[in-house]
Amino acid sequence: MANIQTTARRDGDDYIVNGSKTFISGGMGANWFTTAVRTGGEGARGISVLLIPADSSGVARTPLARKQGWWCSDTATIYFEDVRVPATNLIGPENAGFLVIMANFNNERMAMAVGMEAFARVCLEEAVNWARERRTFGKRLADHQVIRHKIAMMKQRINATRPISRCARARSSTVRCSPATSRC
């Protein structure tokens, strides 16, 4: 993250943005891009965050057709060529964008943990229902010992994630981060 190459150079009341971003979720349908850009020196202290209108002159995008993971997401590569962005579209202080991004990532990761535990529980319930209904070799699938062991292992693994999910739910309901100050 701290090694980004997309740049934004201050030019009066605007920034001039050049570079590209790949694996941008929702990139083909987005109207705005919240974009990390290099405004200062190397490392985390030289990163800022700009809100860039997708219809700006110099913005182009292409879909990523072949990818792993979430296939239903309209993931894209976004290209910026001399894109003029008003300085008022800066999110947080200049060169303090890394903290803004990390605060967002923390909340995003917590939300993902909660979602993944919930999805896993739904999948387990579906598997149990299927095993109760499906018949093989003259008996229910659930009556085969190996299937019961697999279901028990699934439940054990899901239950092991519960403390993380509970922590994430508790954190998200009590902690509010301020992107302007990058403090929680």
Task: Kindly give, in sequence order, each residue whose CB lies less than 8 Å from that of residue 109, ignoring residues fewer than 6 positions away.
Answer: none
Q: Read out DSSP for 108-164?
A: HHHHHHHHHHHHHHHHHHHHHHHHHH-EETTEEGGGSHHHHHHHHHHHHHHHHHHHH
| Two tokens, residue 88 | 């008022």
Whole-number Å distance between alpha carbons of 123 and 125 = 5
Other C-beta atoms lying within 10 Å of the C-beta of residue 133: 10
Rounded CA-CA distance 141/133 in Å is 7
Q: The tokens of 105 are what?
A: 């990532």
Between CA 118 and CA 125 the distance in angstroms is 11
Active site residue 125: no
Could you say which of 108, 125, 126, 133 is catalytic? 108
What is the set of active-site residues?
108
